[in-house]
Structure 1
Amino acid sequence: MPENFAYPVGLRLQGRRVVVLGAGQVAQRRLPALIAAGADILLVSPSATPSVEAMADAGELRWERRRYRSGDFEGAWYALITTDDPEANAAASAEAEARRVWCVRSDDADAASAWTPATGRSEGVTVAVLTGQDPRRSAAVRDAVVEGLRDGSLAAPHRRSRTPGVALVGGGPGDPDLITVRGRRLLAEADVVIADRLGPRDLLDELPPHVEVIDAAKIPYGRFMAQEAINNALIEHARAGKAVVRLKGGDPFVFGRGMEEAQALAEAGIACTVVPGISSSISVPGAAGIPVTHRGVAHEFTVVSGHVAPEDPASLVDWSALARLRGTLVLLMAVEKIGRIAEALMAHGRDAGTPVAVVQEGTTAAQRRVDATLGTVAETVAAEGVRPPAVIVIGDVVAVGA
């Protein structure tokens, strides 16, 4: 049998005494997992990193500010030795051996009676990897397995029955890599995906063949309004026992009508999970090199839907108040109405020379940025042939990265 063979086991340390010697970087990495396991932790060290000291101040462990001394391992179930004193480490290791306490040593794995695996977690699954004395490889294998479980590329289907329901998933601004880990995992587990036009389309190509993908823009509306038809489709498939994902661009609750869908599902008695997404209001400007806030330039940013013109009675926006603000204004769905919006802002006092950037199809391979001023943005958008989807940023932050 190879010398580096280890018997894997999961320790249940709730309420059991664990002794940690040393409070440096190694202990700082290991302590959170011990705390999460509910261990009764005694930390012995003359000093500690600020993070470890904060754990002690919060009452998550008991810290004795001194060096190791014989007898520290009495009553312990598990020990972690992380000091930079070789003699103390050897003495502590010998005590652990004599007391039959499983002991990890950060300075000498060969002298330890236990090894710490590289661990990771995903949806109730703990992955622990041991590769003898090659911690970097252990970490690499762990990361690959956890990432595969999270994004669905590693097939590990649930064997117990799932509760049918709907997940409202924010797909982010367009780049498929910018969906959240949880959103991607739920997509991999879905039976039905009802997708918006602005959702990350590339992710749909990764779905297994059995998954039914429905384009929300092509649902037959009949006598229903578009949103009502979408709500009905969500309810119908969930009641059929399917795991349904409603894939939306950006975040479900930022001009995404996600609450309307959540309310309809609640009224129908359908379980609903909301998975937030990265909003294009901050991610698209960032991808184009524009910070929506910047020290000394803008202390606030305001996100506004521009799909209704300022003079329209249906508008809920106080454009005169927005014009008086000194910070950044981010407009979504405003390409068509940008001329009238610019006129309203200037009429209420916003300087015509205010920098403006229009970012079309942000975060995708087709991204492009067009710069103008508030006084010229309407003609610039027309001359450049800018099309939706585009995010329009108004304010001095536009010039920060220029």
Structure 2
Amino acid sequence: MAEHPAYPVGLRLTGRRVVVLGGGQVAQRRLPALIAAGADVHLVSPGATPSVEAMADAGEITWHRRPYAEGDLAAAWYALIATSDSEANTRASAEAEAHRVWCVRSDDADAATAWTPATGSSEGVTVAVLTTEARDRDPRRTAAIRDAVVEGLRDGTLVAPHHRTRTPGVALVGGGPGDPDLITVRGRRLLAEADVVIADRLGPRDLLAELPPHVEVIDAAKIPYGRFMAQEAINNALVEHARRGKSVVRLKGGDPYVFGRGMEELHALAEAGIPCTVVPGISSSISVPGAAGIPVTHRGVAHEFTVVSGHVAPDDARSLVDWPSLAKLTGTLVVLMGVDKIGRIAETLVAHGKSPDTPVALVQEGTTAAQRRVDATLATVAETVVAQEVKPPAVIVIGEVVGVGRNGTA
């Protein structure tokens, strides 16, 4: 049997009995996929890892807390043998053979009637990799091939043409803080499949260079506004391109819903009857401080963090931020879009009780090659911004956590 390649097949296990012998690391890795397949999973094992025990406690599997016994595989459709008792494994394998139950053995693949492929998935496609020859059965190689194929499908470098007509629509994609590697897998895939990309200035610009020549890239900052407000013009552009049957990606910096006006665009699309997908992104409010060595929370230092917009000053009638209350908080304050207003912000916080010595860090162009960090205090930050010529985009972190990354302690 080992001279012939395995025959690949997809098992439909929904509602069908699957028996797993052994509750160790092998079971811990394999059980989630069996549960996701809808199998009626029965675990036979005296003990189990905490993760496997949690699956049983949650009712995802049925756990028989005992060793393997003759007859356990009689009604099974599929079996996974993964105990540390080789004699019990051999007996269970013989029972599986007698009852014509496809059986995987973690201790002896040559004695098994089935092999588990290296699997991965991307948007409804499952990739399963098996070696064709027993002597070349290297799990590291099959896993590497699987990873390469799945990653290519996810990030768009391996393009599988759609032979069915795609439904036109818009995807609001959070591009992350700037580093092109920090966009989500789903966001990158949708970007690779787009016909039109309407991009923000703060989006991951390097990704645009990877798009195929036929993709129309529109700089949102350069859309002719005419008699419309800037956001209304962007909304109109999204609607118009989608109505032409195009697949449109609105590429935004950070996350679409963190000061990104994503909901305004979603509402405009909904009113026009255009389907919209929202793909969350990594917010600069957390990622940029992290990239600069600053944790927004830290045990014994900060049990909370607050993110606010600084695009209008505290004394501006349009401000919706309760600055006096923020001054009383003991946690971390993260200010976005506040470089040119940081002086008045600092004055307001100090006026309402914040210590002038409170550490402040400004992280400019976070996560990119141009990233730099400038440190100050509430008392000195206004003059520091001018002296160091700090420019937007920059994330401002206020609180004792600023000192954690540099000193090891606050």
Return the TM-score normalized by structure 2: 0.96
Query: Residue in 2 aligned with 1:10?
Result: 10
> Secondary structure of the residue that 1:55 maps to in structure 2?
helix
Specify the code of the residue in structure 2 equivalent to 1:36.
Answer: A
Of the three residues 299, 302, 316, the one matched with 1:298 is 302
Q: Within 5 Å, give how 1:1-400 maps onto structure 2.
A: 3=3, 5-131=5-131, 132=134, 133-400=137-404
Q: Please say if residues 2 and 110 of structure 2, whose CA atoms lie closer than 8 Å, have aligned partners that are also in contact.
A: no
Distance 2:122 2:324 in 1: 48
Specify the code of the residue in structure 1 equivalent to 2:241.
Answer: H
Specify the code of the residue in structure 1 equivalent to 2:46.
Answer: P
Q: CA deviation at 1:57?
A: 1.8
Specify the code of the residue in structure 2 equivalent to 1:367.
Answer: Q
Deviation per CA, 1:329-385, whole angstroms, max 9, x where unpaired? Answer: 111111111111111111112111111101000000000000011000011110011
Deviation per CA, 1:8-60, whole angstroms, max 9, x where unpaired? Answer: 00011112221111111101111111111111222111111111112122222
Deviation per CA, 1:245-266, whole angstroms, max 9, x where unpaired? Answer: 0000001111111111011111
Aligned residues: 402
Percent sequence identity is 84
Q: Please say if residues 292 and 363 of structure 2, whose CA atoms lie closer than 8 Å, have aligned partners that are also in contact.
A: yes
Distance 1:274 1:160 in 2: 23
Distance 2:187 2:347 in 1: 40
Q: CA deviation at 1:228?
A: 0.5
> Secondary structure of the residue that 1:320 maps to in structure 2?
helix
Gaps of 5+ in 1: none
> Secondary structure of the residue that 2:218 maps to in structure 1?
strand
Q: CA deviation at 1:204?
A: 0.3
Distance 1:304 1:55 in 2: 39
Specify the code of the residue in structure 2 equivalent to 1:315.
Answer: S
> Secondary structure of the residue that 1:227 maps to in structure 2?
helix
> Secondary structure of the residue that 1:400 maps to in structure 2?
helix
Deviation per CA, 1:212-248, whole angstroms, max 9, x where unpaired? Answer: 0000000001111110000000000000000000000
Distance 2:313 2:144 in 1: 53
Specify the code of the residue in structure 1 equivalent to 2:344.
Answer: R
Specify the code of the residue in structure 2 equivalent to 1:250.
Answer: G
Distance 1:324 1:115 in 2: 61
Moved more, 130-139 or 83-92: 130-139
Distance 1:20 1:348 in 2: 62
Please list every run of at least 4 consecutive aligned residues from structure 1 whose deviation after the TM superposition is greater than 4 angstroms. none
Task: Provide closer, same or farther for how the CA distance between residues 262 and 369 of structure 1 changes in structure 2, counting only shifts above 3 A.
Answer: same
Specify the code of the residue in structure 1 equivalent to 2:305.
Answer: F
Task: Provide closer, same or farther for how the CA distance between residues 144 and 4 of structure 1 changes in structure 2, counting only shifts above 3 A.
Answer: farther
Deviation per CA, 1:141-184, whole angstroms, max 9, x where unpaired? Answer: 11111111111110112211111111000000000000011100
Distance 1:68 1:257 in 2: 58
Q: CA deviation at 1:3?
A: 2.1
Q: CA deviation at 1:4?
A: 5.7
> Cα RMSD (Å) of the superposition?
1.1
Specify the code of the residue in structure 2 equivalent to 1:68.
Answer: Y
Specify the code of the residue in structure 1 equivalent to 2:290.
Answer: G
> Secondary structure of the residue that 1:401 maps to in structure 2?
helix
Distance 2:61 2:322 in 1: 53
Distance 1:363 1:127 in 2: 32
Specify the code of the residue in structure 1 equivalent to 2:251.
Answer: L
Return the TM-score normalized by structure 1: 0.98
Distance 1:2 1:35 in 2: 30
> Secondary structure of the residue that 2:344 maps to in structure 1?
helix
Deviation per CA, 1:184-224, whole angstroms, max 9, x where unpaired? Answer: 01001100000000000000001111100000000001111
> Secondary structure of the residue that 2:339 maps to in structure 1?
coil
